[in-house]
Each structure stands twice: as structure tokens, then as C-alpha cells.
Amino acid sequence: CGVPQHGPDAGAFRAQAAPVADAEEARANSQVGSKTPPEIYQRQTLGSDAIVFFLISNIAKTSILLLLFIVGAVLMPKIFIFFLIAYFFGIIIGTLLIYNNFQFEINEKGIEIQTGVIHKTEVSLPFDSIENVNIERTLGDRFIGTSRISIETAGSALGNVTNGVQDKQSRAEAYLPGLPKAKAEKIHDLLIDASDGIFGN
């Protein structure tokens, strides 16, 4: 390999490398060296697919109001057109506000999610508190091609009492909706690995 094994230069080469005490220490050093920090996601919005998700979600939440507008069309057609335009204008503005104010970040410590237009809510979950990460796809998600990640922690909600001991149940502490399937799977795997203390490349 080009390295002198004998002669005056051999001793200088061997002196540069610190001796390894035993095989266990060598294995520990190699394992530590193989771990890399989790991939960093700077604070960002969910992505353009989430706009469609929030738009459909807002229309679904106000479907009763839309039905009232349709009934009003029969009784007062001219006024109905004005309210229908105002309704869709309000839905679009509301969707963009919700989208721009729904942001998340994944750093070395955990995941942070900020939501809310008027009332701001920020959830910070360290990796070691995460119990489970699920990818959920409702019928609406499959229709528009998005996925939702729910993050469960060891919650304070308690389950059934068995032999005098109450079982702790995990509960969904945070979620990331409207993600493309590939991105959802990537974040899912990252959070699972990070919560287990195993960081991928």
C-alpha cells in the first residue's frame, strides 16, 4: 500500500495512530462515526399541494352555508349571485391565509409546527417524545394525491384499567396535512429514525 512496514520510517507511521484499547471500543467508535444528524427542514410551508387540500377542506366545512346559498338562488336569484361570489372569494382568501400560516420545521432536536391565522399555536415535539408516526390517506387525500402525517406522543390520556394498572395510550399530538405522498413518506421515515436515535444519510 506504499506505507513502510520496516525500517526507520515505519516507527514514525505507527506513532501517528492512537492505539485502540480493545475490539469493543473500536466497534463503538465506528458506530458513532456512522451516525449523521437528521435531515434539516428549515421553517417552511407544506407545499403547493396543501393549497388544494385546505381549499377542499374549507368548502366541506362550510357546505351547509353553500346549501343555503343554493336555496336562496331559487328565492332571490340576483342576491344569490352576489353572495356566491363573496363566498368563494372568502374561501380563497381564507385558504391562502391558513396555508401561509401553517409552517413546520425539523431540526436536530425535533419537529416544530406553527398554525393559526389570528390565534397562533406552536407545537414543539422532541424526537425522544415521539411514540408513533402514521401516514393517513382519506378518500379526499387519494382524490387529490396528498397524504397526512399524524405524530403521536405518550399522551396523558389513559386507557383501560388492567390488574389495577391504567394503560397509557398514545394520542395524536400534531399533524402535517396536504403533503405529496413521496414527501410524506420521507418525513415519516426521518421522524421514525430520529425517534429511535438512528439517523439516516
**pLDDT greater than 90 at residue 23:** no
The distance from CA 43 to its chain's CA centroid, rounded to whole angstroms, is 12
- Round to whole Å and give the CA distance between 32 and 97: 44
Mean pLDDT of the chain: 77
Take residue 72 and report the three cell numbers written for it. Answer: 336562496
Q: What is the pLDDT of residue 81?
A: 78
E strand or H helix at 17: none
What residue ranges in 22-145 does DSSP mark as E strands?
A: 41-45, 103-106, 110-115, 121-126, 130-136
Residue with the larger pLDDT of the pair 27 and 183: 183
Q: What is the pTM of this model?
A: 0.66
**pLDDT greater than 50 at residue 20:** no
pLDDT > 70 in the chain, percent: 69
Q: Which of 130, 176, 187 is nearest to 154 (CA)?
A: 130
Take residue 44 and report the three cell numbers written for it. Answer: 417552511
- Round to whole Å and give the CA distance between 146 and 52: 9
pLDDT tens track for 47-97: 888 999 999 998 888 888 777 777 776 777 777 778 778 888 999 999 999
Q: What is the arithmetic mean of pLDDT over 153-165?
A: 56
Take residue 71 and report the three cell numbers written for it. Answer: 336555496
Residue with the larger pLDDT of the pair 72 and 1: 72
